[in-house]
Structure 1
Amino acid sequence: MGTQSSFNNDGCHGDQIFKLRSYADIARLAMTQTGSQSLINIMVASKDPFAKDMIFTGVFGSIFEVMNDSHGYYVFGKLIESCNYDQLRHIVALMTLNTESLVSISTSKFGSKSIQRLVKVLEKSPLIYTLTLALSSVLGPLMTNRTGSFVILKCLNLLDTQKNEKIYETAERLCITLAQNEKGCIYLNEFITYSKTPYRERLMNEISSKSKLLSQDPSGNFVVQHVLGLHNPVFSAKICFELRDLYVKLSSQRGGSHVIEKCLNSSETDYVVNAFLKYEKLSQIARDQFGNYVIQTALKATKRANSPLYKMLLAKLKQNRNELMSGFGRKVLSFIDSGVPLD
């Protein structure tokens, strides 16, 4: 490696890789446009194992920088496709040795893409268990970051439940905390959507069990809404039962009112409407800036189902027609007088 280098930060051609002064030159080369393409061409076309070993050693020495580079990540992707098992084992060991580095690389644009490519390459390798175990240990910071969440979702979409077992177990343990996070609630909803049986049901059960807490949380209510929107009758029933003492209170909250609307559009419509019919001051809900939409949803849901509860609800509201003639109650009154059109 003592030969005078012709490396000029723009690239090399063919066997010029052997003329580089140091392995560090290879890493720097990987992070240039023409250099990265030259290295990829060598890995694709060369039959010389020594050339590929040189590239591996050069990239490995600065692997995080290469993975996180707009050109280097292409080199990394091709490198791991051509690595033998022992080389992949070294890469995985380095990736998982330091969790701070794993979080840092997984939450950066090209680093995240590089980890996702590594997941793809390791899909059928025993090494995937080492990687998913490490990812499960940093699930919290990854699932509160848009870019980091892509790594976890890649695992869910690509790998079977056995290989994702540690990720699922950690998600179940952290789901309530994630649900109450402004960003975590969004990515948790995606996690639930892409989860597979039986872990999806376990997550939904955990969310349902804590729906009283989450429905009153500015972020958590979105997760409860999501579970209700999946229209699983078991968990819809559980949520509606958990919230049975909060229908009125939640109907007057920005987020909570959307939860109750989802309840009304679930398999538990009658259960919720019956609770409203027992409430003496139903007109107060109808006059609320959020509650009026809840009452409109109740009217639409019962009429759509041709339920006798529709007429009962209508009659109870008309008893206090005068109260509905002011404020947001006018919206409900207008809705009633227009015949409650169906969606």
Structure 2
Amino acid sequence: MISGSTATGAPAVSVAARVTTSSTSVGPNRATAGYATSSPPPATLPFSRDLVPNRPALSPDQLRYCSEALEFFKAKFKNPETIKSIINSEFDDFLEKNHSRVDVVLKSPDVNKKCSVAFNPLNYETNNRYTNVLPFDFNRVILDPKIGYRPAEAGYINASFIKMNHASTSQFIATQGPKECTFQDFWAMILQYRCKVIIMLTKLKDDKGGDLCSEYFPVDEWSKEFGSIIVKTKWKTSNETGLTWRYFEVNYKESKEPPLDVLHIQYLDWPDKEVPENNLPVLEILKIMYHVPTDIGPVVVHCSAGIGRAGTYCTIHNTIQRILLGDKSALKVLDTVTFYRCQRMGMVQNKVYNSTLLNLILWYTYSVSK
């Protein structure tokens, strides 16, 4: 899709221009809203170039929690012939009760108030990849100006803080695939909020050559400048599952502060609005993220629009973390989706993604329980 177009979820079924920042930014009070601030996180990443995602070393209690979760899902979906109909029926009921489809949200009478900064003419067409996927004001990511950098109107970037009310689970930033005009904004966000992990779940182009995400990081070169920010590649590696890891140093070019180390995990073979080609790459990402401390700062997750694959991954990640904590409410997966949709419209966009997340949660609990 091209810039300024809309992102619509196919109902397929499967199992499985710069201005000075406004002085009255609309958004959360970042000191009190419960979302990430720009203060540095206390932890560092435990990875090297020879990164191999180890099987999680679970405690006896955690193994029991996974076994219980697996038994719950096996009992719920005990008849293979009815799995698809049960999953799809539950998702249809969810949509009807929550009125949270993107098209419904955008037609609501107060949407202009809820997304006022995104609808600002200085932001709307230029800075949104899809004009029907917009962040809410209350939890949008707000960018601050720096020497040599001026963010969009009211510090705008199409990105949302995503969290659960649980101190021991990861916090996310769900965002669109960066556009060329938002490259510097994206990296300014990484620096301001000390984001040490980026999970990229999209190709740059679709099968017809449409732009899904622009190339916002060094690919063939070892360093690249984005306005006042420089991104340097420390190392790069890949494996047979289709994952590529890059370790970046990110900093303002004139900064006297140490650069920020960022792990970039790229998975290209998850088609838009479809199931992943296989489960292993996503399970590998989850293995890696098991070793990332939850207090390390927001984990940035993006696909193209920042709601389908990104929302699915965030839901899987959070559900598994809560299962390992013994939180039985995690098994009510659509409750998590409901909570996430209150924070970013259209998270887990359609039935395909809902089936995918259930499938991957089952695979994870099975793989660590056996």
Same fold (TM over 0.5): no
What is the TM-score normalised by the length of structure 1?
0.22
What is the TM-score normalised by the length of structure 2?
0.21
Q: Of the two, which has the highest radius of gyration?
A: 1
